[in-house]
Amino acid sequence: MFTEIKNIQSSDENVMKFVFEKDNAVAEAVLYKYPTYEDRTVICCSTQSGCPVGCRFCGAGDYFVRSLKAEEIVFQVDHCLQSQNIDASKIQKFQIMVMSMGEPLLNFKELEKAFEILYSKYPQAKLLISSIGPQINYEPVIQMAQRIPTVGLQFSVHESTDESRDKLIPFKGKLKLTTISQIGEAFLILTGRKPFFNYCAHEHNSSQQDADNIAALFNPDVFEATISVVCERDESIAAANVRQRELASSFMQKLAAHGFSTRMFDPAGQDDIGGGCGQLWFVQNWMQNNQHLAKKSVGFGMEVIHAPKEAELV
């Protein structure tokens, strides 16, 4: 298991970060309370060390080391709870989100094992997958969600056209937006639970036309919308400034006018410990210091690769 664990406290007392290290991998998890652990606890954990996808806004996108084993995923959750003496049975709203680092569905075999264990340990916790939508067979994913009634699915869309999304997520092995929409509809029909899409509104993708594009792609009777405030990887940028929040709020209103149920994701601690998804400053340092272990991810002027085979990722 992990040989070194760093506990990094934010100036915001509602969030803390954990960096898990061993000789050949690094992982990261973030623990939130809203406003107490018993009221609502959220844990964002990693499924891979680094990430092969190479999203332009993500600090984990430069390098990929390997996929994490099921026990390494579960350990992150267990440690977050144990470190703060949290009694999971007393949590009123409990969410475990695989979104901190890595593309969960490119490590589905181990993710499925981890979710089986987590469901047995914490049956009241929602187990939420946040994915860019890689080109995989989604039938086993939906079957897992049918078998485990707490599993939810969210797609990181972030742009309103495939052309813009290709620039942000330069990973050829991903689904087109229309296909993501079709899979979301199948997920709802077969599980009875609405999927989400996550959209990070910035100055270049928050127009009325962008909202109209999203409404044409995604049925508001099927999908729920999460609008993210943090769209930066750089610790020198206070990403969640007033302007960014205004853009997110304005875009939420545009989507609400199309009939979407919307919510804003504005994570605590993003400006001092990188609390937001993608702001993995401590992981970036580890990758820089351990480049002999890591493969260069897609993007950054390199030839874009297709989705690695599962045998290459586990």
pLDDT digits (tens, 9 = 90+) for 105-162: 999 999 999 999 999 999 999 999 999 999 999 999 999 999 999 999 999 999 999 9
Q: What is the pLDDT of residue 267?
A: 58
Sheet arrangement for strand 295-296: 48-50, 63-67, 295-296
Whole-number Å distance between alpha carbons of 305 and 103? 15
- Convert the pLDDT of each residue in 167-193 to its tens digit: 989 899 999 999 999 999 999 999 999
Ramachandran angles phi, psi of 192, nearest 5° = 80, 10
Q: What mean pLDDT do residues 28-43 have? A: 95
The pLDDT score that the predictor gives to residue 56 is 80
Every domain of the chain and the residues it spans: 4-295
Cα separation, 208 vs 240, whole angstroms: 22
Query: What is the rounded average pLDDT of the residues 95-111?
Result: 95
Helix ranges (H only) for 70-204 are 70-83, 108-121, 139-147, 162-168, 177-191
* pLDDT for the residue 313: 39
**Which residues lie closer than 8 Å to 33 by C-beta, 6 or more apart?**
14, 15, 39, 40, 41, 42
Residue whose C-alpha is closest to residue 153's, from 122, 121, 175, 172? 175
The alpha carbon of 24 is separated from its chain's Cα centroid by a whole number of angstroms, namely 23
Percent of the chain residues topping a pLDDT of 70: 85
pTM: 0.89
Mean local confidence (pLDDT), 194-217? 95
Say yes or no to pLDDT of 36 above 70: yes
Higher pLDDT, 148 or 202: 148
pLDDT one-digit tens code per residue, 41-66: 999 999 999 888 888 877 777 789 99
Q: How far apart (Å, rounded) are the C-alpha atoms in residues 190 and 145?
A: 9
Alpha carbons 260 and 187: distance in angstroms, whole number = 18
Structure confidence by residue, pLDDT tens digits, 217-234: 999 999 999 998 765 555
Q: Which of 21-25, 37-41, 241-245 shows the highest mean pLDDT?
A: 37-41
Contact 256, 12 (CB under 8 A): no
299 DSSP 8-state letter: -
- Report whether CATH 3.20.20.70 matches the domain 4-295: yes
Q: How many residues in the chain?
A: 314
Residues 6+ apart with CB under 8 A from 199: 157, 158, 159, 205, 214, 225, 226, 227, 228, 251
